[in-house]
Structure 1
Amino acid sequence: MATDTSKYKFNHSMLRVKDPHRSVKFYEHLGMSLIQKIPQPDAKFDLYFLAYDSPTAISPKAPWYDRQGILELTHNYGTENDPDYKPANGNSDPGRGFGHVCITVDNIQAACQRIEDAGYKFQKKLSDGRMRHVAFALDPDDYWVEIVSDNKVEDTEGIKETDPSTYRFNHTMIRVKDHTKSLRFYQDILGMSLLRTSESPSSGFNLYFLGYVPGADNDVNTKPLEGVLELTWNYGTEKDEGFHYHNGNSEPQGFGHLAISVDDLDAACQRLEEKGVSWKKRLTDGRMKNVAFVLDPDGYWIEVVQNERYKATSKY
């Protein structure tokens, strides 16, 4: 039994939502398509999988398990009618941990104007602060959606048109306590490559971008990609024994997990076992024998699922 990490994919990121109709509408406005819905009426929740699916997308019409850059929205029945329910967006205490998802667009000024014209709010507009090349829109649950440009911002000034079919779900950001431990986990254990590092000593943080890109050398232009993981490390957190980030799965809940699809689920889990990972759920636990969850150094959940492309006899 063998597994090849070069065949792994950073498949999806999961967020809990209050009202799936509002949330799906928002992400469809950003050009995403609903590629899969998995109702779970017995367990009283539904899963919505969204991705970029136009003919010019990176993996148009591919099955959900054979893609990168998917957003999974989880709706627990009844939350849409609960006036007190609000998912934690990960950017304030006590739920601080997950940071944002990020969309790459063609013409950022036009894209942001289109979002604003549709009545959606912003955490940060292009004109706010010193960083005039990035914006953060707010989805219906106030999750932050970073907007970055595929082109130089100065080259798109004055362009009024934007084509959402060209957008990409670029990355997901989580905060980590100890960058050394986290980089080792995602590189050595999950098989990702370090694509790019952005150091900001004057601001006291570094950003590390990782993904499944063969031959990556820490000098990759990540903007054209999907399936990128951004780790944010704030200097000094690793020295504070009492410090920890919130993984989103205890109260207050919001962000749920990251997910990788693998070539051989049994072999991948055996490899993870040999690497000494901490398990949230082994394949043999519970009723669902087709999915496992490991924990990263900060306690974030990483779902491991089968990519049927490589194993026709998989349990999915």
Structure 2
Amino acid sequence: MKTLFVAYRVTYLDRSLAFYTALGYVVLGRVDGGDGSHLVILKFPGEPAASLELVHRPAGGRVEGNRGFDHLAIQVDALAATRERLTDAGLEPGPVQYPGGPRGPKTSWLTDPDGYQIELVEWPPGHPDGMTAADFS
């Protein structure tokens, strides 16, 4: 088994789609669910498959992001360059943090239009791709 993607319910599809494409996602596909509902499937250009789905169900009312959900973590190659690009695109990434100390990962946080928290992570040099059991030994 493996995780296929995360699905976020969003209040305004166009606003959320603008945010996530500014973040770097590209649209993989769309599904019209009838009754005004839509699904937009996204991925990062280097990913082989979908990693995020935006779910728009107008009949469901306004979305309260992060209600029962903590955050989405996204690995970046260079946090400083990513923060600069996102700021230039009109997004507001937070300051750089070092949650594991000066030799650990660098992080920055931002919030999407519905209140979902996103953690951007740059691993230190030599760290394997992604988080593994080695991070806890």
User: TM-score normalised to the size of structure 1?
Assistant: 0.36
Equivalent residue for 1:191? none
Does residue 48 (structure 1) correspond to residue 40 (structure 2)? The answer is yes
Matches within 5 A, 1:144-159: 144-152=117-125
State the SS of the aligned residue for 2:81: helix
Equivalent residue for 1:108? 79
* Structure-2 separation of matches of 1:105 and 1:129: 16
Q: CA deviation at 1:141?
A: 1.5
Q: CA deviation at 1:48?
A: 0.8
Q: CA deviation at 1:118?
A: 2.2
Identity, in percent, stands at: 25
Deviations 1:4-28 (A, max 9, x none): xxxx331011111111112112111
Rate the CA distance shift 1:10–1:127 in 2: closer, same or farther, 3 A.
Answer: closer
State the SS of the aligned residue for 1:115: helix
* Structure-2 separation of matches of 1:108 and 1:98: 24
Q: CA deviation at 1:150?
A: 4.4
* Structure-2 separation of matches of 1:131 and 1:147: 16
Q: CA deviation at 1:114?
A: 1.7
State the SS of the aligned residue for 2:20: helix
Structure label with greater radius of gyration = 1
Question: Counterpart of 2:32 in structure 1: which amino acid?
Answer: P
Between Structure 1 and Structure 2, how many residues are aligned?
130
Matches within 5 A, 1:46-85: 46-52=38-44, 54=45, 57-59=46-48, 67=49, 70-77=51-58
Rate the CA distance shift 1:77–1:15 in 2: closer, same or farther, 3 A.
Answer: same
2:29 to 26, 36, 56: 36
Q: CA RMSD in A?
A: 3.1
* Structure-2 separation of matches of 1:27 and 1:138: 11
* Structure-2 separation of matches of 1:47 and 1:17: 10
Rate the CA distance shift 1:120–1:107 in 2: closer, same or farther, 3 A.
Answer: same
1:89 to 34, 56, 65: 65
> Which sections of structure 1, spanning at least 5 residues, go unmatched?
1-7, 60-66, 80-84, 153-167, 171-194, 197-217, 221-316
- Answer yes or no: is the 8 Å Cα contact 2:26–2:42 preserved in 1: yes
Q: CA deviation at 1:131?
A: 6.6
Does residue 219 (structure 1) correspond to residue 137 (structure 2)? The answer is no
Rate the CA distance shift 1:128–1:141 in 2: closer, same or farther, 3 A.
Answer: farther
Matches within 5 A, 1:222-261: none
* Structure-2 separation of matches of 1:71 and 1:118: 20
Matches within 5 A, 1:1-316: 8-41=1-34, 43-52=35-44, 54=45, 57-59=46-48, 67=49, 70-77=51-58, 86-90=62-66, 95=67, 97-122=68-93, 124-126=94-96, 133-152=106-125, 196=132, 218-219=133-134
* Structure-2 separation of matches of 1:78 and 1:121: 30
Question: Counterpart of 2:22 in structure 1: which amino acid?
Answer: H
* Structure-2 separation of matches of 1:58 and 1:128: 26
* Structure-1 separation of matches of 2:87 and 2:59: 29
Runs (4+) off by over 4 Å: 127-132
- Answer yes or no: is the 8 Å Cα contact 1:20–1:73 preserved in 2: yes
State the SS of the aligned residue for 2:4: strand
- Answer yes or no: is the 8 Å Cα contact 2:28–2:43 preserved in 1: yes
